Structure 1
Amino acid sequence: MAGPARITEYVAFGLLMALAAFGGLFIIGETMADPGGVRGVLFVLAWLVPMAGLTFCAARWPHAAAGVLTAAAAVVAVFVLLDAALRLRTGPVGFISVFAVAVPLGVLGLRRPVRAGWLLLAVGALLALSAGAAAVTVGLPVLLAGGLFLLSDRMQPKLPQSR
C-alpha cells in the first residue's frame, strides 16, 4: 500500500498527464486548423517529438534526464521571460514550451519529486507572471503539480540523524 507521500506524487503525475492529454489534443487541433496542412504537422512535430523523447528519457533514465530537463526548463524560462520583456509576440509558443517541458517533468517527479517540483514551479510561475490571466490554463496545473511534488517530499518520514 502506498503512503500519503507516494499518493501525492501520483496525484501530481495524474494532473500533468491529464494536462498532456487534453492540452495536447487542443494544441494539435488548433494547429491543424490554423495553419493546417504540412506546416501544421511540422509545428506539432516541433514540440511533440522533443516532449515524447524527454518523457521516455525521464521514465527510463531519470538521473540523466534530470540534468537535461533542468537545462530544458531553463531555456523555456529564459524564452518566456524574453518573450514578455521584449514583447516578441510569438503567439502561443511560450505556453506550448512550458507544456512540452512540464509533461516529462511530471514523469521525472515520480523518481525525483524535489527536482521536478522546483522546475515545475519555476516555469509555471514565470509563465503566469509574464502572460497574465491567459496563463491559467497551462500555468495553474503546472504550479499545482510542482507544489504537490514538493509537498510529497515533505510528507516523507525522515530518518533521525546520527550524532
Structure 2
Amino acid sequence: MSVSGKVLSIVAFVSMALFGLFGALFVAGETFDDPGGGAAVVLTASWLIPLTGLSVFALLRPGPAGAVLTAVTAMTAGFTLADSAVGLIPRDDRGPVAAIAVFALGVALAFLGLHRATLAGVLMIIAGLAQLAATVMVTATRATGDEARPGVVLGGSSGVVIVPLLVVGFLFVLAGSFGREPSEHTPVHHS
C-alpha cells in the first residue's frame, strides 16, 4: 500500500477508535445507570469482550481474522434486519442490542483495516447499510409525524452508528485503492 493509503488507513482507524472509545463509555455509562448492578456488568461484558477479542485477533492475525469478521458481519447484518423486522429482542427490556452489536463490530473492523483496508471498509459499509435498512424499517412501520424525519432516524441510538460506519468504511476502501494489500494468504510482517 502506498504512503497515501497508509495515512488514510491510519486516519480511518483513529476516527473509528475515537468513536469507539466515546461510544463504549456512553453505552457502558447508560448500562450502569439503568439497569445498573450485576446486570450492567453482564450486559457490558456481552459486547465489550467480543469487541476486544475480535479487535486483538484482527490486529495480530489479519489473514484469518478477515474470514471470521466476514462471517460475523453477515451474521450481525442478518440479526439486525431480523430484529427490526420481527422484534427478536424487546428493545424496551434490553435496549438497542442490534445497534450495539453493529457498533462493536465496527470498532473491531477498524483494527482489521490497519492491515486489510479494503475488506474492512467493505464490511463496515455492509454493516452500516444493514443498520440503516433496519432503522428505516422500524421507522416506516412504527413512526408517525416528526418521528419519521431523516434527522430523527439518524439521531437515535440505532442511527448514530450508521454515519461513522459508512464514512470510515469509505475511507478504508479508498485507502485500499491506493495499492496492493496483502491477501488472506499473504504473510503480514510486523516490525
TM-score (norm 1): 0.90
SS in 1 for 2:115: coil
Q: Following superposition of structure 1 onto structure 2, how do residues 50-61 of structure 1 map, counting pairs within 5 Å? A: 50-61=50-61
Shift of residue 93 of structure 1?
Answer: 0.5
- Residue-by-residue CA offset, 1:71-115 (whole Å, 9 max, x unaligned): 111111011110111134433101100011111100001111111
Partner of 1:160: none
Counterpart code for 1:46: S
Counterparts of 2:159 and 2:50, CA distance in 1: 24
Any stretches of 5+ residues in structure 2 without a counterpart?
137-152, 181-191
Any stretches of 5+ residues in structure 1 without a counterpart?
158-163
Q: Following superposition of structure 1 onto structure 2, how do residues 1-163 of structure 1 map, counting pairs within 5 Å? A: 3-88=3-88, 89-90=90-91, 91-132=95-136, 133=153, 134=156, 135-156=158-179
- Residue-by-residue CA offset, 1:11-62 (whole Å, 9 max, x unaligned): 1101110111100000000000111000010000011011101111111111
Aligned length: 156
Structure with greater helix percent: 1
CA RMSD of aligned residues (A): 1.4
Counterparts of 2:176 and 2:49, CA distance in 1: 31
- Residue-by-residue CA offset, 1:115-163 (whole Å, 9 max, x unaligned): 1111000001110121141344211101111101111122338xxxxxx
**Aligned residues with identical type, % of pairs:** 37
TM-score (norm 2): 0.77
Shift of residue 6 of structure 1?
Answer: 1.1
